[in-house]
A and B are shown apart, each in its own frame.
Chain A
Amino acid sequence: MRKIAALVFLVFVAFLLYGAYEMRDFGRPPSDMDDYIIENSQNETGANNAVTAVVFDYRGYDTLGEATVLFTAVAGVMAMFRRRDDHA
């Protein structure tokens, strides 16, 4: 079992190294989306920080989903660790 796990690990490491070796250069191939955001995000959202413009404006639904994930995590922790003083 350990040999199989080691083999899987080695194959995975080789895959990652091959992926890093074959990686394209930064910003290649050029896409229209980032050019559009760099050109227009300051005019459309009024924010200098293009990352915040993408996170909260162009991809606002994703941020809402992330907030939902955090809310679910807090609800789960509260359900697990809630002190039960009335039972204890």
Chain B
Amino acid sequence: MTMPDEGLSPVVRVIAAMLFPFILIFSLYVILHGHLTPGGGFQGGAIGASAVVMLIVAYGARWVESKAGEESVSVLESLGGLMFVVTGLLGFLLAATFLSNFLVGEVLFGEIPTFGSNPGILNTGGTLPLLNIAVGLKVIGGLASVVLIMALGSRRDAA
């Protein structure tokens, strides 16, 4: 194949570097507005992981690893899982059962929207925004580290 061994041409690199923050911002928007608009933790995490995958394809896995190794990326994933379980256990301690929505009616994320379809306000949802952020971190870290490890490992075997 005529593809360069590591990364792509400068045109692709410049465009990828310009697009990367916007895709990441869109991913954070989908995660943080998961309780108001379509999408949620998994969808936004998939979009954010696709931004990292675009960097891996454009710049090569070695460059991405020099910026953020797969160990630190998979720490993000474990952090998301821990946040999910801790939120569930807080529901167990502060309210009735595991994962019960203990924040409805409280100050943080506690407002209750009017019935029917409305644009919504961000400060609603109880524990749902926290769980969305947890799952979003988990999916970004998980999918990005999977693709990064695959690119690094397969490249070492080929060389």
Contacts and interface: CB of A to CB of B under 8 A. Distances in A.
A, B bound: yes
Interface of A: 42-49, 51-53, 55-57, 60-61, 63-64, 66-67, 70-71, 73-74, 77-78, 80-83, 88
30 contacts: A42-B112, A42-B114, A42-B115, A43-B112, A43-B115, A45-B125, A46-B110, A46-B113, A47-B126, A47-B128, A48-B120, A48-B124, A49-B36, A51-B38, A56-B128, A57-B101, A60-B88, A60-B98, A63-B84, A63-B131, A64-B85, A64-B99, A67-B81, A67-B84, A67-B138, A70-B139, A71-B81, A78-B145, A78-B149, A83-B153
Interface of B: 34-38, 40-42, 70, 74, 77-78, 80-81, 84-85, 88, 98-99, 101, 104, 109-115, 117-118, 120, 124-128, 131-132, 135, 138-139, 142, 145-146, 149-150, 152-154, 156
A60 to B, nearest CB: 4
Contacts of A67: 80-81, 84, 135, 138
B149 A81 contact: yes
